[in-house]
Amino acid sequence: MLKKILIITMLALTTISAMASNSNVLNQQQDKVIPGHSFGILPSPPALAVDSYIMIDADTNAVLANFDENKKIHPASLTKLMTTYLVNTSIKNGTLSGQGEVIVSQKAWKTTGSTMFLEAGQKVSIENLLKGIIIVSGNDASIAIAEHIAGSEDGFAEMMNKMASILGMNDTCFFNASGMPKEGHYSTAKDLSVLSKHVIYDFPESFKLYSEKYFQYGIDRKTQKPLQRQKNRNRLLWTSPYIDGLKTGHIDETGYHLIATSKQQDRRIIVVILGAKSEQQRADDAQKLFAYGFNFFTNNKISEQQEILKEVRIWGGKDDLLKTGTLNDILVTIPKGMNDKLSISIDIFNNLEAPILENTKVGDITIKLNNKLIKTENLIALQSVEKAGWFKSMYDKIKKYLINFL
């Protein structure tokens, strides 16, 4: 046994210098500056005469512009985004059949405001009800499907609030499925931006309906001929091929609302405007924000999913080096022309020892712009490393001790 220890000690002493050198190299690699363009000049966001707004990059959640985004305001028909989200969630978890039909109640038939012209006692497919809610903002369709899923609109409102809590919409309270005026029914621009992102990415097939410009449904009672097709109230759908949603809303108490989204060159921006003075103003203001967001900001990919960012020393393992990286792509939104002000630093936990399982956090990634923190990510093990046998483990322990001692 003594002979083995002496041999291990001699081997360790001969490798100290090399290990120290390698350690210095790793430390030098911890700060990496992303090359780019010269410093950019960023103007102030457009001044909008609205009660509240927010603009976010959908891929990074970066807030590009905002004003009083946490102000609680009645969302009017923007409420229906949660209604359709719950419908799709119910279909996904199997509590609702997407091929099923709904019997229209008297309450749904009698409701006022925007409508898809349902008749009491009529059987309507889930598919058509979704189109009626999304494309023409049918209050009757919203109530009909809410009653079908939860037994009552009040019960459905409870489901809406529970889902809002799950999604992190902490300043939202729903009392109905349609967005009809009701005291205590409110949300915020920030919360609605969160919901919008889930609508877009969680159910992409349903999201496609938000770009549909027309929907025709129903029969004229007198002539028994099909009713004239209705037009989507989102004017922006006619102004740009890049705009593909999302929803409008209006009640007299809070004015004109709009959630719009635009995708250009694989980059998506979401705009939420609450309390504009007219339909035209909310559309014009959204265009101003889109121009600002796309003209003055860009996305920078720091690393790709499973990309090896760093190989680090691991002690007592069958392998000496551990490949590390990130579970997902790292993407940040920055002002254009500021790539050269972007930096990333990688900090590894001290004295990593085997065994290490794949996807275990082993450090932190810090991303700064102009030396200001903009994002942190977990550095994870991209592989598993098994514990070595006795001889290798003892050898590594002596090397680690001697390096730390020196």
Residue 370, CA distances (Å) to 121, 140, 294, 335, 339 in order: 63, 52, 21, 11, 10
The rounded distance, in Å, linking the Cα atoms of 331 and 342 is: 12
Token pair, residue 90, equals 């119910």
CA–CA dist 218, 59 (Å, integer)? 39
The Cα-based distances of 305 to 265, 295, 301 in angstroms read: 20, 28, 10
d(CA 259, CA 268) in angstroms, rounded, equals 13
- Sheet of 372-381: strand order equals 31-33, 342-348, 361-369, 372-381, 321-325, 310-313
**Cβ atoms within 10 Å, residue 276:** 24
Tokens of 221: 């009672």
Contact (CB, 8 A) for 26 and 313: yes
Q: Which residues are catalytic?
A: 77, 80, 137
- Residue for token pair 């069958």: 318
Alpha-carbon separation of residue 369 from 117, 251, 333, 338, 372 (angstroms): 53, 42, 10, 8, 5
Please state the φ and ψ torsions of residue 142, each to the nearest 5 degrees: -65, -45
- Give the CA radius of gyration of the chain: 28
Residue 263 dihedral angles phi and psi, to the nearest 5°: -120, 125
Interatomic CA distance for residues 24 and 406, integer angstroms = 14
Residue 400 to residue 276: CA distance in whole angstroms: 65
Find the helix or strand (DSSP H, E) in which 274 lies: strand 267-276
Quickly list H helices, 126-278.
126-134, 139-150, 153-166, 189-202, 204-207
Q: Report helix, strand or coil for 19.
A: helix
